[in-house]
Amino acid sequence: MNPTHRSWVGPRAVLASRGSWLQLTFRDLDPRRPSTRREWTYGVVSPVIMAPSNLFLYWEAEFQKWAVDIPFHNLNNKDFSLKEDEDTVGVFHCLSPAMKTNPHLIRMVKLKSWTKSKSILGISYDLFRILTEEDGEGYDKETREILLKFPGLLVFEEGHNSWNEQSLVWKALRKVKIEKHILFSGTPFQNNIKDLYNTLCVVSPKFAADLEQKWGSLNSFTDKNARALEELRDIISPLVHKPTL
């Protein structure tokens, strides 16, 4: 499957190398494409980019470089982008000076703006975990529900970082029940078959569930059996995208 030549039709997930991430992301999010425009129009895109917080300045620079005319709301940034929803910002400006410094209220302006318009939300893995915990310090029911239920597409940058069963980030990401994912990583395998399976549990839960028994048997042989490793590559190949040279 080559995602750069197909629109988002039906449930789909993609594991992509870092060399293709800009081409793949901006093509699938570009509202000028007829297929993508339909999804923006009917509100089924609602993209979320998850990345380490220090990468969002780079993402913002790339949006400008590629002239992508879509508001980008960085939930990790305490400042507004000046592209927030006017009505929501108007309500915010009616608050007292003390309330305007409340990080939760600033985030809510960005979340509301994202849900109301054709725009993209950026959030770090750690902040997503904090805001979706049911009893954590950052808990707010409305914020949690928006982050878990509203996304139509999740884009994972540096997606190989936290894919083990003990990871709180991994557990938080599994709560988002959608099928459309793009995961970017230079090293998604990390020579650890179990971590690769955990990655699939996030990127394509149904795909991973259908493979659970088969994966367990292959996992026992991949270290010593080249044929088992080849079979494993064939199994995940429908999800893997490599840049065309």
Looking up residue 124, the CATH number of its domain turns out to be: 3.40.50.10810
Q: Mean pLDDT across the chain, nearest whole number?
A: 76
**Residue 239 in this model has a pLDDT that exceeds 80:** no
How much is the pLDDT for 245? 47
For 182, the domain range is 3-241
Closest CA to 160 of 51, 69, 76, 60: 51
pLDDT band at 112 (very low <50, low <70, confident <90, very high): very high
How much is the pLDDT for 136? 60
**Residue 30 in this model has a pLDDT that exceeds 60:** no
Kindly state the tokens that stand for 205. 């839960």
- Condensed to tens digits (0 to 9), the pLDDT of residues 141-158 reads 899 999 999 998 898 887
Under the phi-then-psi rule, with left for phi > 0, alpha for psi from -120 to 50, and beta for the rest, what region is 135? Answer: alpha
Under the phi-then-psi rule, with left for phi > 0, alpha for psi from -120 to 50, and beta for the rest, what region is 10? Answer: left
Q: How far apart are CA 187 and CA 179, in angstroms?
A: 22
How much is the pLDDT for 178? 81
More confident residue, 130 or 231: 130
Residues 6+ apart with CB under 8 A from 129: 168, 169, 172
Q: Identity (one letter) of the amino acid at 219?
A: N
Q: How far apart are CA 234 and CA 245, in angstroms?
A: 21
Q: Are 99 and 145 in contact (CB under 8 A)?
A: no
How many structural domains does the chain have? 1
Q: How far apart are CA 173 and CA 70, in angstroms?
A: 25
Residues 6+ apart with CB under 8 A from 189: 195, 196
More confident residue, 79 or 236: 79
How much is the pLDDT for 1? 30
**Residue 6 in this model has a pLDDT that exceeds 70:** no
Q: Are 171 and 128 in contact (CB under 8 A)?
A: no
Under the phi-then-psi rule, with left for phi > 0, alpha for psi from -120 to 50, and beta for the rest, what region is 102? Answer: beta
